[in-house]
Structures are given as C-alpha cells and as structure tokens.
Structure 1
Amino acid sequence: MDSLIAIAAAFLYVMAISTIVPGLAHQTGIRTKTVFISALLALVFHAWLLSDLIFNASGQNLSILNVASLISFIISFVMSAAMLKNRLWFLLPVVYSFAAINLVAASFLPSTFIKHLEQDPKLLMHISLALFSYATLTIGALYALQLAWLDHKLKKKKALAINPNLPPLMMVERQLFKIILIGNLLLTGTLLTGFVFVEDMFAQGKAHKAVLSFIAWIIYTTLLWGHYQKGWRGQKVTWFAVTGASILTLAYFGSRFVQEVILT
C-alpha cells in the first residue's frame, strides 16, 4: 500500500512539474490551478505516506530517509501555499523533484531509527524546531540561487530574465532576507533548546551536530548583519546562504548517513 501511495504522490509531483516547465521554457502562461491541484493532491498522498512510515507501534521511525522526506514535505507545502501569491515557478520544479525522489526512496529503501517522542516533549520541541529551521533555511538557499541566476541573466541582458513567469529581482531579495531571518530565529531556538533539554548533546557521535549548527548560526547571523548594516548584496549573499545550508545539511544528516546507509 505504501508503495502505491508513493507512486501516486510522485506521479502528481511530476504532473505539476510538467505543467510548469513549458511555461518557463517558452515564456507562456502557466496554468496555476492545474499546478496547485496536482501539488495539493501530491501533498495529501505524501502526508499519508509519512504517517505510515514514521508512526508505528514501536514509536516514531525517524530514519534518515523518513526525515528527509518529512523535510521535503514541509518545504513543498510552504512553497505550494506561497505559489498563489508569489511567482515561484523557477523553484517549484526543483522542490517537487526532491520531494518525489525522497518519498520514493523512503518507501522503497526502508530503514529504522526508532524514537519515543511521546515520552519526551522537550526533545519533541527541539526536533520540531530543528526540522522547521532546516526547511526554512533550505528555502532561503533556493531563493539565494534564484537571486544569483536572475542577476546573472539581467547582467547578460538575456530575454529570459524578463519572463513574465519569473519574479522581480528586488522582490526575491527582500523575500530572501525575510526567510533567512525567520530561519535563523528558528535555528537560535533549536540551539537553545538543545543546550537546555538535550543532556548528551556533546556526547561522542553527537557533538559535531551542535558544533556545525553553531557555525551555521554564525554564518547566517553574519549575513544578516552584513546586509542590514553594510548593505551586502549579490554573490556574497548567495555564498553565505548556500554555505550555511550546506553546513546544516552536514550537521543534520552527515553521521546518520554513514550509520544508516553506508555501514548498514
């Protein structure tokens, strides 16, 4: 049953992508309702699949593939909701592609990492903040890449840069820093709850998560300070945003990938 749900969700994500890409390529109108309905149904099936994969009689299965699929669901949900207000057509194919890949991998390559979050609400709070901070800052990295791409096209005076399906450069920049500010606040909450609630945060095998997360927090804080106090823009912003997201990815998934995928 889970396999069928995964295939249905992946198909609907692909349907949404196939509706967006021609409009981007040929600078024609994109059928927003078709994309939104396809994405909405995909998200429903995706949520159904996650409930089956994560929640079971033994506890919560927070394996690396399940967590990756959960994060891709959060990102897809947020971006789909924002689709109705903002022109996110450049980013949605990337987001939906990763969502489809992650949910298929979680369904067909099962792994186990059982937790009992119902017995530890403080840990649940910490993990929830970590998931939402990572998802938010990943969206920020995508916005930063879109900003760099639009800037490059404008400097080269490419016609694609004035594609009506693409957002204005300054709007993307404003949204980028709002997203990074929110994500950094969530990351701050993640670090604080980790220090307060997670007793073995610096134990062997876990210390690197705290250290790398703190380094990412410094990077994002520096970026926000540089933008609002020094007027940083352009490539510097992109490098900071992508570097911060990469370090967080290494912090959240590095050791788990080695333990769950390579060693097993």
Structure 2
Amino acid sequence: MHMSTVLLSALALVAYLVATASVSLRIFHPAGPHFKTTFSAASLAIVLHMLALTALLFTADGQNFSLLNVISLICWLITVAITVIALRTPTILLLPVVYGFASLVQLATLVTPQYSQIQHFEQHLSLLTHIFLAFIAYAVLVMAMLYSLQVTYISNKLKRKDFTAVSRHMPPLVYAEKLQFRLLLTGTILLGLALLSGALFMDNWLAKDNLHKNVLSFIAFLVFALLCWGHACQGWRGKTANMLTISGSLLLTLAYFGSRFVREVLLDKF
C-alpha cells in the first residue's frame, strides 16, 4: 500500500473516531450531540475514505476486489447513506454504530496484509451490473436491519415508559418503522434483480465455487420476500420482523463473505 494511501486511511480513521466520540459522549444528553462537529468530522472521513478506497480498488493491473476492499466499499456506501439520512431525520442511535464500524474497517486496512483479487470489469459489463446490484442490495438490507434494531430499542423504551432515552433527536417509532420497511422492500427488489442478472449473464452461475453463495443468497431473498409479504398482508412487525430481518442479513453476509473469508484469511495462514 502506497504511503499516500496509508496517510489517507489513517486520517479517515481519526476523523471517524472523532465523529463516533462526538455522538456517543452526548447521545442521551437533552441538548443532543454537537452535530456540527459530528457531521464535519464524518464528512471529512467519508471523503478521505473514498480517496483511499479508490486508490486500493483501481490498480494498474485491474480492479482489486479483495475481501477487505469489498467490505470497505460496502461500509462506505452505508456510511454515506446513513449520514445523508441523518442530516434530514433523527438517526442518532445508528450514527455511533456506523461510524464506529467504519473506524474498525480503516484500522483493518492499515494493519491487515493487502490481498489481490484482480478483476477486469471493463471487459464484462454484465458482471459489473450484477455486482453493482448485489452491493447496493446488501447495503440497503443492512440499513434495514440497523433500523429494525433501532425500532426495537425505541419500542422497548416506550413500553417501559422510559422516556429519558427517547429524545427529540431520535425518530418517532412510526416513522422509523415505516423507513425500515421501505428499505427492506427496496433491498429485496434489488437483491432479486441481482440474482436474476447473475443467473442470466454469468456462465459459471452454478459452478461449485459460486453454488453455496447463490443458494444462501436465494434463501435470504426468500426470507426478505416473506417478510415483505407478511408485513403488507398480515401486519407482521416487532419481534417477528426483527428476527426475519436479522436472519436474512446473516444469510446474505455468509453468502457474500463466508467463503472468501475462509479462502483469503483462514486458509492463507495454513
């Protein structure tokens, strides 16, 4: 990794830590966090993260889609989306989680050996379309899971009549739940399109190396689709929705990263 990339990642790490601390230290304060400090640090971190990630992804040999680079890319997408949403609506509970995880990703980038997984997407536009849909779908569905956890937290506090932790800086329960299911529906549609594009355009769709990923992704799609149907037709919400959202997200995480983690991290050590 070039010295300039190391510096960009290190500065992004510091900026993410400042944003995380700015929110966390005053998360339940009546006046709320210092949002100017939080969003200034977060915006700087996002730009630095993007510059470092661009240098790592796009090399002279092609596009390096190693496991860590893919995680960093998805993390960046989620961080940007949550930050933009937080500028318009109260999302205080999610900010320290998102910025804290982004800090860990930057730390991993700095201390973990860099692997190469070179692709040439400019020669395979259909593959690029499939991967783009898959990444966006995963990011949106992880955001839906984060919102489901936020909904559960707010709901539990309201049931216990504990209003000290539910401030004006947190979204109303109905709004948070509505956004959760909008994200869930959007992510499910994108995941379905990603699976369809892969089946149509990838020659090795049913090859041994891809089979477990596609099977787990399809099962995750069925879980999310079932939840969308259950919410629309049966009024599913609360614990049922939370359980299914987390289950689908875990299946999708295993599909996307399970085999690559074993191949690039565990097997490489033996």
Match of 2:98 in 1: 95
Match of 2:84 in 1: 81
Match of 2:170 in 1: 166
Amino acid at match of 1:260: E
Structure 1 unaligned residues grouped into runs of 5+: none
Pairing of 1:224-243 with structure 2 (within 5 A): 224-243=228-247
1:246 aligns with 2:240: no
Aligned-residue RMSD, C-alpha: 1.1
Identity of aligned residues (%): 40
Pairing of 1:153-232 with structure 2 (within 5 A): 153-232=157-236
Aligned-pair CA distance for 1:132: 0.3
Runs of 4+ in 1 over 6 A off after TM superposition: none
Amino acid at match of 2:99: Y
Match of 1:259 in 2: 263
Question: Retained in 2: the 8 A contact 1:129–1:189?
Answer: yes
Aligned-pair CA distance for 1:49: 0.6
Pairing of 1:45-194 with structure 2 (within 5 A): 45-109=48-112, 110-194=114-198
Question: Retained in 2: the 8 A contact 1:23–1:165?
Answer: no
TM-score between both structures, scaled by the size of structure 1? 0.97
Choose the corresponding residue for 1:4, options 3, 7, 20: 7
TM-score between both structures, scaled by the size of structure 2? 0.95
Q: Which moved more, 1:113-122 or 1:27-36?
A: 27-36
Aligned-pair CA distance for 1:159: 2.8
**Matched residue of 1:20: which SS?**
helix
Question: Retained in 2: the 8 A contact 1:3–1:108?
Answer: no
Question: Retained in 2: the 8 A contact 1:154–1:161?
Answer: no
Q: Distance in 1 between matches of 2:111 and 2:53?
A: 13
Q: Distance in 1 between matches of 2:244 and 2:30?
A: 31
**Matched residue of 2:63: which SS?**
strand
Aligned-pair CA distance for 1:67: 0.2
Q: Report the number of matched residues.
A: 264
Structure 2 unaligned residues grouped into runs of 5+: none
Q: Which moved more, 1:197-206 or 1:98-107?
A: 98-107
